[in-house]
Structure 1
Amino acid sequence: MRTRTLLTLTAAVAALTLPAAVPASAAATPVLTTGGAGGTPVAAGEALTASLASGTSATFYSSATGTSGISCTSSQFSATVTDNPAAPGTATESLNAHTFDAAGCTTNVTGVLGVSSITVDNLPYTAAVSSEGTITVAPAEGSTIQSTVKLRTLLGTITCVYRATGLTGTTDNTDSGISFTNQQFTKASGSSLCFANAYFTAKYAPVTDASGAPVFIN
């Protein structure tokens, strides 16, 4: 009888000291999910894509407050998730492609007839998406964010090269969008028809995974 009582007491003490199993539903929510905030985690290696938000344009203006420059109605980007830690935190992505369709680009720069191409150089870039609702884009170490713009003029095609050390944008769970506003690029080379600075503004929405599901920030 005494032995049985001792065994029962030992079992009770063990039950009190052993940690309780954590149900799967209590697992930490990562920064990136689909199906809504707090939804299905986005796996590392997942491909994400986005085009310009409906009815918007990507612009490269010569000043932060002006309207002289280039406007494009078609632009897309694609990225691969490299890390998606628990929120609050910062998820990282590799920005593999960022394109602009020159057929949808117009310009009102004096002396320029049209846009031949806009190419984003030195890819991939690293994108860091924080729970606080910001996204920062940075080049590889020792490189720079760079865009090459080719413009048609009466004297032929000119090439303008613009560079930036980094870009900062904001995220929005309302439409799973990413916005960049007046991100400054500085002319690295080009003729006098290439404006000295290019201020980039665009909204991409929705950002979706490979299945087409919108991505949310937690």
Structure 2
Amino acid sequence: MRKIVLALAASLAVLFALAWPANAGTPAAAASAVLTRTAPGGPPANPGDLLTASLTPGTPLNFSTAPGGSVGLFCKQSVWGGQLIANPPAPGTAAIKLLNPFTISSCYDNSPTVTGVVGVTVGNLPATLTVSDSTGFPLQILPSSTPLQITVTLTTTGPTVTCVFQSPGPVNGNTGPGGAPWVFNNQPFRLLSGSLPACGTSPVAYLTARYSPVTDTTAGGSTIFVN
């Protein structure tokens, strides 16, 4: 009888070991958020935090009349800011509410008849900037109600000209893992009002801009990383 009990106990022990993994008592590591502070996989950026970014040093913002073209508006400074509204565990998509002002400054324009740049404004904000860690790390600026708008006021050899451009849909871009720049490359904006050739040599302008680093101003200016 004793042998039968011992054999039964041994069998139960084997079944329990098979059914209960060796690491079952160890909590699973929490997934990193899509956006973290300080380092890849670091503390998550908190919804409600204010994020900001300027142009990557040494790279201008181009608003040219052909993709990669040499005619149009070229600016040395641009800064956007926004409030983080969603930052799920990776994999996922984070969302930032872009706020006024989205500044573009220190510009020149070499379009025909243009003699100077009075100012550039980004309108129809707020909009939503999404950041995904899926393949290609896509970015999108999604308008809230009306398309994102860029207004350029120029002095010319004749009267002052105001050129109003609107995006025909989402403004698409991409980034990469870690602290890679957030890039918008040759994104089209259609001329809504204003006259050629001061507003360019075609009724479409193409926006190219690289922003880095993205920082969390609420958390003392710590760098934001994409996971």
TM-score (norm 1): 0.85
Distance 1:171 1:124, change over 3 A: same
1:194 corresponds to: 199
**Counterparts of 2:42 and 2:160 in 1: how far apart (Å)?**
49
Q: For the Cα contact (< 8 Å) 1:176–1:214, is it kept in 2?
A: no
Q: Map 1:76-155; keep pairs closer than 5 Å.
A: 76-97=79-100, 98-101=102-105, 104-132=106-134, 133-141=137-145, 143-155=146-158
1:212 to 215, 221, 227: 221
Distance 1:27 1:21, change over 3 A: farther
Aligned residues: 200
- 1:176 is displaced (CA, Å) by 4.0
- 1:114 is displaced (CA, Å) by 1.1
- 1:79 is displaced (CA, Å) by 1.1
Q: For the Cα contact (< 8 Å) 2:61–2:76, is it kept in 1?
A: yes
**Counterparts of 1:128 and 1:63 in 2: how far apart (Å)?**
26
SS at match of 1:41: coil
Once the two structures are superposed, what CA deviation does each residue of 1:142-182 show, in whole Å capped at 9, x if it has no partner?
x1111111011122311000001211111134544201110
Structure 1's unaligned 5+ residue stretches are 1-12
Once the two structures are superposed, what CA deviation does each residue of 1:81-133 show, in whole Å capped at 9, x if it has no partner?
101011000011101131112xx111111100011111100100111100121
Give % identity.
Answer: 40
SS at match of 1:207: strand
SS at match of 1:29: coil
**Counterparts of 2:25 and 2:124 in 1: how far apart (Å)?**
48
Q: Map 1:174-185; keep pairs closer than 5 Å.
A: 175-185=179-189
Structure 2's unaligned 5+ residue stretches are 1-15
**Structure 1 segments of 4+ aligned residues over 6 angstroms from their partners:** none
Give the partner amino acid of 1:74: Q
Once the two structures are superposed, what CA deviation does each residue of 1:26-76 show, in whole Å capped at 9, x if it has no partner?
222110101221111000001110101111100100011421001000110
Larger CA Rg, structure 1 vs 2: 2
**Counterparts of 1:145 and 1:207 in 2: how far apart (Å)?**
21
